[in-house]
Amino acid sequence: MTIFAEDTQDYFTLERMKEFWKMLLAAALGCFVAGLLTLFFFISFLGNLFTFESGTPGLKPGSVLRIDMSQIVFSEKKATADLQSFLQGQAMPSVTLWDAVKTIKKAESDPRISIIFLKPDGLSADIAQLEELRKALLEFRSSGKAVVSFCEFPTLGSYYLASVSDRVFLSANKGAGPQINGVGTQMFFLGDLLNKLDVNVQLIRHGKFKSAGEMFIKSEPSAENLLQTKEMIGSIWKSIADDIAAARGIDAGSFTELVENLKLNSCESMVEYNLADELLTREGLKEKLATLSGAPSYDKVNYISLTDYVRLRSKAVESNKKQIAILVASGEIVEGVDDANIAGDTYASAIAALRKDDRVKAVVLRVASPGGSVLASDKIKTELDLLAQEKPLIASYGSYAASGGYWISNNCNHIFTDKTTLTGSIGVFSMIPDISRTFKNKLHVNVVTVGSSKHNGGVFAPLDAQEREAVQEQIEDIYQAFVNTVAEGRGMEPSAVDEIAQGRVWTGSDAIGLGLVDEVGSLMEAVRYAAVEAGDSDLTAWNISTYPTVETTFIDELVDSMGSEFGSSDVFADTPLHQLEYTLKRWYKASSQERYFARMPYEIIVR
């Protein structure tokens, strides 16, 4: 018996040694392969980097600043390029809105820039960004220089941008044509599906217009949700139609009638109704550009792209001691660490650092957020209130400054908004799923919960009356705090705030009359206002920088890119169900972090 035991022990010891050497060799081989891959990626990285740097062309007198919207991704904050695309030389340049409008402004006084040539087809920008780019181009035109545009497939978004031009040219080739059908949105409702799956989504909220969770409990929109959606879409359309009509010298009502009656169904019809100036072939366009730029022939035209001009101009920036900081709050408001969104602790720390930095004399808070976590929102607002006590704090609203996005910013000294901004949504909700019946009835799995109290059921038991009452009390407390903070920030009575709150979403143009914002204005106008408030209206005297800065190393990007290959793909990418998939993933991630949300239900894309 003893001998057998010793033999067995020796056997297992030998097997452990074999496993050890296998693991050691596997680890060594893995390190070797990883080293080779890292070396390969690093060499590719350097090659692309040098190509990127050396590929920036110089400027010559009479140069044409080319803005090809299909070759640019516009963002609110600086974004790291997708590593795999970058290494393959296929990365789409990302330009922040501030860099774009700042660079267009500099082009006004640059004697080497003759005109701007705009190709808006295939754009990747939201409607508020297009609104601000239009303003920047309009100011460029006021300098006496021309903006000319060329479209082959003008959509509402691309034509909205193009309409600001001195001359709008469309393709004379067959197959080209407009796709201008107004503004619309699709609302998905999963109530019937979840009922069939026996999923009980328990939505508790304050605000009859707070519809962010309706898609999970209903099969159609509530009357309040439908009302606010219709009025919101109508307000956005009015802003777009008014801008287009003013630029083209036509009546906004007539333009709306043309769209409604499908009269704009060809490039020829666009010219007929004075929405475009001329149809051109490729050769005809070349001749026009040569003439307008002052070049003797097209082959003498010197182009510089917006991305190259941004890089060229950024190199010439002098470092001044005093600064205006543009603090970009873009994305969901979340707890934890999340570079792609507005992480509560990260942003609170960044705000505190700006408050303590003596070089920073004023801060412009650029908000492009539909909201999110109540806890993270309140952390950020607390720090912003402290900053506002020491330095001018000006808000600039992008596409969204709603719910949590409005919570953090309503106490700013002055609020600028785009007309198409979606803001307000002053309301709170909690959404708690109960999947006990799903497991029992559909999966035939019995779940037995054993806990120290009767309230340990989690998602495997419905809320009882006591639990529901406790959640509702929290919702009411948070809602009242939201109303009070808006009343204090905007100088209103809480009762007056409550009348326009209830979770209702308003456009920027409507929010002015309600007292939620101060005036329609761009990010550039907000920066100018901040400069005046800080005591020096001359923007050239300021170093204007965007925050927070995200510092990532090559290895960070490598690890992230390798990890992102698994479980992060969009199954329904480029299909009508992509937005639904995105919504479900977003709510799953958010609900795993927090129970209470101040978030807007809408995300609108204009193409």
To which residue do tokens 């100036």 refer?
277
Q: Report how far Cα 212 is from the mean position of its chain's Cα atoms.
A: 18
Q: Is 210 a catalytic residue?
A: yes
C-alpha span between 257 and 253 (Å, rounded): 6
Specify whether the CB–CB gap between 98 and 390 falls below 8 A.
no
Tokens at residue 22, please? 């296998």
Specify whether the CB–CB gap between 127 and 156 falls below 8 A.
no
Q: Is 403 a catalytic residue?
A: yes
Catalytic, out of 94, 149, 293, 403: 403
C-alpha span between 400 and 508 (Å, rounded): 9
Burial class (CB in 10 A: 0-12, 13-18, 19+), 71: middle
To which residue do tokens 């009502």 refer?
253
Strands laid side by side in the 63-68 sheet? 278-280, 167-171, 146-151, 113-119, 63-68, 303-305
Closest-CA residue to 511 (of 384, 603, 395): 395
Catalytic, out of 77, 119, 135, 210: 210
Q: What is the CA radius of gyration of the chain?
A: 28
Q: Cα-flanking dihedrals φ and ψ of residue 367, to 5°?
A: -105, 125
- How crowded is the C-beta side of 225, counted as CA atoms within 13 Å? 19
Tokens at residue 277, please? 């100036």
Specify whether the CB–CB gap between 367 and 397 falls below 8 A.
yes
Reduced to 3 states (helix: H, G, I; strand: E, B; else coil), residue 84 is helix
* DSSP letter, residue 439: I
Tokens at residue 18, please? 């074999």
Q: How far is CA 550 from CA 309, 360, 377, 395, 555, in A?
A: 23, 19, 20, 22, 14
C-alpha span between 120 and 435 (Å, rounded): 47
Closest-CA residue to 305 (of 64, 52, 60): 64
Name the residues annotated as catalytic.
210, 403
